[in-house]
């Protein structure tokens, strides 16, 4: 799943007429795409209850921070933000400060004890309670709910979209995770896996198409284990991820479909055949490998081997010859030796990933690894190995981009380039970012772009006729 640990997503100002008190909420989001989508659900719940959204922290009556626990530095960053919100509260004591999401779930007591300025602590399955909890906070109590749910999917809530251009939207298809990778805090903060009713997913996608959206990304911690069963009379009908992907692709041929994240142990050929069959399903798969060493994969409880991962890659290459593959890699997991690390580097070369998110192992309290393994790779060694991984991926990403120079790609125009108002930015089916002069195109168009050059992070091109 894409991670944006550095820059928060902040909602643009929105207001609605409502039954509530019109109080202004400032909402800042850290972490994965799922968190971004959760904030869209939160905004929807708040707007429906008469709150409004502001992007000016100093104007806010309520400051909410949707948080991530995946690595220690994500949490440190949020603690820093909470201290800053404390400064805002000094000048305006009536301001309510709320912590949402994974850190709320994991650190409720610590937040309430150590950060006295926090009025509201709400876990990922309790957002429907926000209006009630806010009222409690407004009357001077602490508003707390971190109950995890076996069935909450917010299926009936239409998220308020963060993408100001209205081109690309996230659609959550499931919540939680049952995998118990030994390093990962997600099963504890987001609870058990549950899939969302496919009909509600299709309705949401249809609504997006009606509103002019041109791309959806289906989100789940492990989309390949999506499963929804329904009994019609005596017959039990099950929708798996390949079925759902096809249903979404069929909503409109003009809607691009992406998904994230796939677990290598569950990626079936059926999903790959569905991707190959529908033009509008993008040729990109995010398949986190984490390590190239069987010994480490086993300690991580990933339930696949280096060989079986490579078999999946081979299946992708055979079934969808023109498919980009990205991954996640962790450097310096417990007991990792130089040999294990070299196996990660050699696997990266063997696959030739187009893109990767790369992290230093960060021990998370109460996970299996924290309980049963020793975080024994010294920090300097973790850093050095991570640097080697990043450098190698830099070369692989560059090679992958250089191969695109001279080729033409259909690009969805997603917005104006941050660097120049004369350029648009969009992505290819392979999820590669392309920058090109605007010419006569508009945001939301599909245009044919010829790639003329590339930088380490971006393709550069120009619009061409068919
Ligand atoms: N330390 C470092 N990276 C982690 N990830 C998950 N947990 C940890 C951790 N404790 C990474 C994995 C996962 C991605 C979302 O975050 O690579 O795929
Ligand atoms: Fe964490 Fe593993 Fe679940 Fe991903 S699949 S959220 S890494 S436990």
- Pick from 20-24, 96-100, 386-390: least confident: 20-24
Ligand 2 contact, 187 CB (< 6 A):
yes
User: pLDDT tens-digit profile of 77-103?
Assistant: 999 999 999 999 999 999 999 999 999
Q: How far is ligand 1, taken at its centre, from the CA of residue 330, in Å?
A: 7
Q: Mind listing the pLDDT tens digit for each residue in 175-226?
A: 999 999 999 999 999 999 999 999 999 999 999 999 999 999 999 999 999 9
CA of 185 to the centre of ligand 2 (A): 8
The number of angstroms, rounded, from the C-alpha of 256 to the middle of its chain's C-alpha atoms is 17
Strands (E), 162-299: 168-172, 174-175, 194-195, 215-219, 227-232, 235-240, 256-260, 284-286
Res 11: pLDDT: 67
Cβ 280 vs Cβ 257: under 8 Å? yes
Is the pLDDT score of 19 beyond 60?
no
Measured by CA distance, the residue closest to atom 2 of ligand 2 is: 181
Q: ∠ at Cα 39 (38, 42), nearest 5°?
A: 90
Q: Is the pLDDT of residue 167 over 90?
A: yes
List the structure tokens of 5: 């640990």
Could you please report the per-residue DSSP string of 49-79?
TT-EE-S-GGG-SEEEEEE--SSHHHHHHHH
Could you tell me the pLDDT band of residue 164, with boundaries at 50, 70 and 90?
confident
pLDDT of residue 21: 72
How far apart CA 229 and CA 206 sit, in angstroms, is 22
Q: What are phi and psi of 168, to 5 degrees?
A: -130, 135
Res 227 pLDDT > 60? yes
Question: What is the SS3 assignment for 272?
Answer: helix
- Per-residue tokens: 108: 């409720």
**Tokens at 201, concatenated:** 């997913």
Q: According to the model, what pLDDT value does residue 2 have?
A: 53
Q: Are 162 and 348 in contact (CB under 8 A)?
A: no
Contacts of residue 19, Cβ cutoff 8 Å, sequence gap at least 6: 49, 50
pLDDT value at residue 8: 73
* pLDDT interval class at 361 (50, 70, 90): very high
What ranges in 191-237 are assigned the alpha helix state H? Answer: 198-210
Would you state the pLDDT for residue 115? Answer: 78
Mean pLDDT along residues 451-455: 96
Q: How far apart are CA 293 and CA 275, in angstroms?
A: 29
* % pLDDT > 70, the chain: 96
Bigger pLDDT: 456 vs 217: 217
How far apart are the CA of 219 and the centre of ligand 2, in A? Answer: 13
Tokens 């593959």 -> residue: 325
Protein residue whose Cα sits closest to atom 18 of ligand 1: 328
Token duo for residue 251: 């909503």
Question: What are the E-state strand segments in 314-383?
Answer: 324-331, 355-360
Residue 410 has pLDDT above 80, yes or no: yes
Q: Distance between CA atoms of 370 and 463, rounded to whole angstroms?
A: 52
Q: Beta strand pairing status for 446-454 and 459-463?
A: antiparallel
- Residue bearing the CA closest to ligand 2, atom 1: 184
CA separation for the pair 214, 207 (Å, rounded): 11
What is the pLDDT confidence band of residue 232, given thresholds at 50, 70 and 90? confident
pLDDT of 17 above 60: no
Ligand (nearest to CA of 290): 1
Task: Encode pLDDT of 235-275 as tens digits.
Answer: 889 999 999 999 999 999 999 999 999 999 999 999 999 99
Average pLDDT, the chain: 94
Q: How far apart are CA 205 and CA 201, in angstroms?
A: 6
Looking at the chain, the number of H-run helices and the number of E-run strands are 13, 22
- Give the pLDDT of residue 114: 79
Task: Write down the pLDDT at residue 22.
Answer: 84
Determine the residue of 2, 34, 71, 102 to mutate for testing ligand 1's pocket, defined as the one with the most ligand atoms within 8 A of the Cβ atom: 71
Ligand nearest to the CA of 2: 1
Ligand 1 atom nearest to CA at 362: 1
- Domains, in order of start, for the chain: 3-145 (3.40.50.12160), 165-227+236-282 (3.30.750.210), 285-403 (3.30.750.200), 408-463 (2.40.50.140)
pLDDT band, residue 18 (cuts 50/70/90): very low
Q: What is the pLDDT of residue 212?
A: 95
Is residue 4 over pLDDT 50?
Answer: no
- Cα distances from 44 to residues 41, 217, 240, 279, in angstroms, run 5, 19, 28, 32
Tokens 């991580």, located at residue = 300
Ligand 2 centroid vs 187 CA: distance in angstroms? 7
Mutational test site, ligand 2, from 74, 185, 222, max ligand atoms within 8 Å of CB: 222
């Amino acid at each position: 799943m894409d991670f944006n640990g550095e820059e928060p997503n902040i909602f643009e100002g929105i207001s609605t007429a409502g039954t509530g008190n019109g109080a202004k909420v400032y909402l800042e989001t850290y972490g994965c795409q799922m968190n971004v989508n959760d904030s869209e659900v939160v905004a929807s719940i708040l707007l429906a209850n008469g709150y409004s959204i502001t992007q000016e922290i100093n104007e806010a009556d309520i400051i909410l921070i949707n948080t991530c626990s995946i690595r220690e530095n994500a949490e440190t960053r949020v603690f820093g933000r909470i201290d800053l919100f404390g400064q805002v509260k000094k000048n305006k004591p009536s301001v309510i400060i709320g912590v949402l999401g994974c850190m709320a779930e994991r650190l409720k007591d610590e937040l309430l004890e150590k950060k006295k300025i926090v009025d509201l602590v709400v876990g990922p399955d309790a957002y429907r309670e926000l209006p009630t909890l806010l009222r409690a906070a407004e009357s001077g109590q602490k508003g707390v709910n971190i109950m995890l749910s076996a069935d909450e999917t917010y299926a009936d809530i239409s998220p308020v979209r963060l993408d100001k251009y209205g081109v690309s939207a996230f659609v959550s298809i499931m919540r939680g995770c049952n995998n118990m990778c030994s390093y990962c805090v997600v099963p504890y903060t987001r609870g058990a896996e549950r899939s969302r009713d496919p009909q509600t997913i299709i309705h949401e996608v249809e609504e997006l198409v009606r509103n002019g959206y041109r791309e959806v990304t289906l989100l789940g911690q492990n989309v390949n284990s999506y499963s929804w069963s329904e009994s019609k009379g005596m017959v039990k009908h099950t929708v798996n991820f390949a079925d759902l992907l096809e249903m979404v692709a069929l909503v409109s041929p003009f809607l691009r479909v992406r998904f994230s994240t796939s677990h290598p142990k569950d990626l079936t050929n059926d999903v790959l055949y569905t991707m190959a069959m529908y033009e509008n399903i993008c040729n990109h798969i995010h398949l986190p490998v984490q390590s190239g060493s069987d010994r480490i994969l086993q300690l991580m409880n990933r339930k696949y081997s280096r060989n079986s991962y490579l078999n999946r890659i081979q299946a992708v290459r055979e079934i969808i010859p023109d498919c980009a593959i990205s991954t996640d890699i962790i450097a310096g997991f417990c007991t990792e030796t130089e040999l294990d690390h070299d196996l990660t580097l050699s696997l990266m070369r063997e696959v030739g990933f187009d893109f990767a998110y790369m992290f230093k192992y960060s021990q998370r309290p109460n996970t299996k690894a924290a309980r049963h393994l020793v975080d024994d790779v010294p920090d300097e060694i973790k850093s050095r190995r991570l640097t080697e991984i990043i450098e190698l991926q830099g070369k692989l990403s560059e090679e992958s981009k250089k191969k695109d120079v001279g080729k033409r790609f259909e690009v969805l125009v997603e917005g104006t380039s941050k660097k120049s108002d004369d350029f648009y930015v969009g992505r290819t089916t392979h999820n590669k970012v392309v920058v090109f002069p605007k010419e006569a195109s508009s945001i939301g168009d599909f245009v044919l772009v010829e790639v003329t050059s590339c930088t380490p992070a971006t393709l550069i091109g120009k619009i061409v006729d068919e």
